[in-house]
Structures are given as structure tokens and as C-alpha cells.
Amino acid sequence: MRVIQAILVLALFGGWAASGRAAELVVIASDDPSVALGTKIDGSKPIAIAAGASLVLVSSTGRTIKLAGPYSGMPDPSAAGGDDGLVDSLSQLIKEEGGSSTTLAVFRGGLGKTPIGRPDIWGVDIAREGSYCLRPDRPAMLWWYAARPGAVVKLSDDEDGSGGARIRWPQSKKYTPWPDTLALSDGATYVARFRSGDTGTPLKAVLMPALDTDAHRAAWMAGHGCTQQALRVLDAMGQDEL
């Protein structure tokens, strides 16, 4: 894990320059068994997609390109003008952590209707231990897939749970805003407790900088410990659900 994080960070902030070659693309969604997720494609070379198949690609600028068969042509003939490191980063992330479309899709199970603002992706999943990267342009949200209406959740930034905030979960919602009474700090670890005596679920908050595209956000997330969240962003991009 440390190796991939180091590679992703270098790719994003090490200034990997375009080499003058045609812009590369990376496959983030595919229902063509001959094209694996994470495959890099030269945008200036023609590709063929059979009827009924489709691909979703991301360019070095973070642009999403959707192709549906029957298709034959160059997916992106423009000269390289973005950051080739972005394509390399996403390709490596998918190949090493995503594995397959099935692995990516596991995060989508049971969601039903897409939540407004995607708090299931951009927020903190209080029932799943881990790091969560939060956007600066959206309010911080708490997400709970198995939410019990009226249940009380204790969220604190101390080990014994003596401080923090008590949250009564709203009716008919799987998400709720981060409590105003609990300061949100970059790099801080919080603990969610669902009942008395619960040892709690540790949740690390990582505050993201302003980034141009969801592709850039996914790469940044993966480089800062939010790997599973990054895969969910890519999956949602491939499904056109962001």
C-alpha cells in the first residue's frame, strides 16, 4: 500500500511532464471482455468497439470520454496537453486495487437511488473503519447505509467518548450533516459508537485541496490513504453517477 501511495503522490505533485506523445487514456469502465479496466490507450490510434459494448475512458486532463459500439475511430486525437501522471496513477490504482469491474461494483450494492450530492462517496461512512477524504466545496456529511431511524450515534475525537456529539439519526435518511458541535480537523481520527460499551469505529478525516476534476480527486484520494473511496469515485464516474 505504501508503494502505490508514493507513486500516486509523485504522479500528482512531482510535475511529471508530457513527453510530446499523443494523449493517453485510461479505461475506467468496460463491458468488453477484451479490454480490461486500467488499460492505457493511445488516443490517436483507432479502436473498434462491437455493437452492445461500451468503454469509459479518462484523459490526461481528467476529461471523461464515453464510447458505445458499434464504434470505430480515434477516441482522442488531440495532442497531449494534460498530466500523463494522472493516467498512470489511475491505471495503477485500478490494476493494483480495483482488480475487475466486479470488484469495483461491490461498493454499489444496495444503494438504490443515487443520493443527492453523493454523501455515500464524498462523505464519511460511519460504519466502515478507514480514512475519508472530504471535499472543500461541499459540506461534510456522515453516511450510514444500515441507518436506523431515531438511533443515537456518538461521534467523538477522544478514545473514551467522553466528549464529542450525540447524533439522533433523521427519519428516512441514510445521511446527515457533520455535527456543528464537533470540530472537523485535517488528519484527526474520530470514533463512532452505536451503543453503550461499543469500542467504536475509528474514522480518519483528510481534507482535500481544490481540484479540477473527479479524476484528479480520485488520484489524490488514493495517494492520501482513501483508496477504497477513490475506487468508488471511479466506479461512479464509469456509471455516470457523479
Three-class HEC string of 97-145: HHCCHHHHHHHHCCCCCCCCCCHHHHCEECCCCEEEEECCCCCCEEECC
Whether the Cβ atoms of residue 153 and residue 225 lie closer than 8 Å to each other: no
Share of the chain above pLDDT 90, in %: 67
**The pLDDT of residue 80 is above 70:** no
Q: With the CA atoms of 42, 47, 50 and 53 taken in that order, what torsion angle do they form, in degrees rounded to the nearest 10?
A: 20
**Confidence band of 82 (pLDDT split at 50, 70, 90):** confident
How far is the CA of 114 from the CAs of 102, 106, 120, in angstroms? 19, 15, 9
Of 134, 126, 114, 130, the C-alpha closest to 184 is: 134
Q: Can you spell out the DSSP letters for 187-238? A: T-EEEEE-STT---EEEEEEEPPP-SSHHHHHHHHHHTT-HHHHHHHHHHHH
Q: What is the pLDDT of residue 160?
A: 63
Q: What is the pLDDT of residue 161?
A: 62
Asked whether the predicted pLDDT for residue 26 surpasses 80, the reply is yes
Query: Which residues lie closer than 8 Å to 55 by C-beta, 6 or more apart?
Result: 27, 29, 30, 32, 35, 49, 66, 67, 75
Q: Is 30 helix (H, G, I), strand (E, B) or coil?
A: strand
HSE at residue 168, side-chain half, CA atoms within 13 A, is 2
Q: What is the pTM assigned to this prediction? A: 0.84
Q: Note the pLDDT tens digit of each residue in 88-119.
A: 999 999 998 865 444 454 444 445 577 888 99
83-87, 99-103, 154-158, 214-218: range with lowest mean pLDDT: 99-103
- The alpha carbons of the chain give a radius of gyration, in whole angstroms, of 20
